[in-house]
Amino acid sequence: MSDFTPNILIENGWQDYVLLDSGAGRKLEMFGKVRVSRPEPQALWEISLPESEWAKADATFTNASEKEDDDKGSWQQRGKLPETWPVEVEGVQMLCRLMTYRHMGLFPEQRPHWSWFKKIIETTSTKPFKVLNLFGYTGAASLIAAKAGAEVTHVDASKKAIQWARENQEVSGLNDAKIRWICDDAAKFVAREGRRGNKYDGILLDPPRYGRGPEGEVWKFETDVGPLLSACADLLAPDAKFMILTAYTMRLSSLTLDHMMKDALKARKGKTDHGELLLADKSGNRPLATSMFSRWKTDA
């Protein structure tokens, strides 16, 4: 059992990623050799770096509207950038590209989770280690788990995201890795896996606030994540090692996620922790809160 104190996981960046500055509703980052400026609703403070440093951004994202949570907009490039460029993380290559909804195919704040489950996979004698990655997007977690030796089932409702993940697999030199790429609604897939009796040693969930499945299925985090967590708990093998839930719905508390995680896993031994994922800027003085999480790990 965990206590009620949040666990703050701070990502300090690495060779191919740096948060240079944040403030005035924006963040300035380096993804590989590309400097980008994009909106960040959490950054309500003043910027630290001079405006001249922000003006050096290779690409700047501008929202199309002032609506809350509206991620759509356009990128303004200072020079012509390649369509994709690689960013290395945890031994895999991720191709970044400028998307119309301000993301680039990689969420650096997730790295503490990646290194956490990577160590579990590498140090577990049980083989094969089977991982289910729901809402897997462009495959960073899937590729890192596979490189660590896991057999991965990657599920996402977007065909484009899965194609992007396959490209990342190729540039990472992991074509022989055991990864199933599945385009499906997460809840429907989990229900079918339950009927089939399939089990997993680790499960990852990174659901959006709102989304639609390939056949128009509606996903709402607040109403749908609880039942999905419970269904995922039924897919855990008897000696399963972990389950992670990450949420970008900042209106909720990490304690809310932890309560739901404990409900789903009340029949299992182990412990949970919960908290926030933060990105430290280059100065190290003002880490940026990005998302919340709850994760479970067996005692064994």
* Model pLDDT for residues 253-296, shown as the tens digit of each residue: 999 999 999 999 999 999 999 999 999 998 878 999 999 999 99
Q: Are 290 and 253 in contact (CB under 8 A)?
A: no
CATH topology of domain 9-96: Immunoglobulin-like (2.60.40)
| CATH code of domain 106-297 | 3.40.50.150
Residue 299 has pLDDT above 90, yes or no: no
> By three-state DSSP, how is residue 184 classified?
coil
Q: How confident is the model over 244-261, as a mean pLDDT?
A: 89
Cα–chain center distance at 37: 20
Tell me the HSE value of 131 on the side-chain side, using a 13 A CA sphere.
32
pLDDT computed for residue 142 by the predictor? 98
What does the angle CA 248 – CA 217 – CA 64 come to, to the nearest 5 degrees?
A: 50
Question: Which residues are paired to 270 by β-bridges?
Answer: none
Burial class (CB in 10 A: 0-12, 13-18, 19+), 36: buried
Measured at the CA of 69, the angle between CA 66 and CA 71, to 5 degrees, comes to 80
Give the rounded distance of the alpha carbon of 3 from its chain centre.
Answer: 24
SS3 label, residue 255: helix
Check the CA dihedral 232-233-237-241 and report its sign: positive
Q: Is the pLDDT of residue 69 over 70?
A: no
* CATH code 2.60.40.1180 region(s) in the chain: 9-96
Instruction: Answer whether residue 97 shows pLDDT above 80.
Output: yes
- Name 114's Cβ contacts closer than 8 Å, sequence gap at least 6: 89, 90, 140, 141, 144
pLDDT value of residue 64: 56
Residues 154-200 pLDDT 10s: 999 999 999 999 999 999 999 999 999 999 999 999 999 999 999 99
Calculate mean pLDDT across residues 227-241.
Answer: 96
Lookup result for tokens 């907009």: 73
Q: Where in the chain is the domain with CATH 3.40.50.150?
A: 106-297
Taking residues 36-65, what's their average pLDDT?
92
Q: What confidence score (pLDDT) does residue 250 get?
A: 63
pTM for this one?
A: 0.93
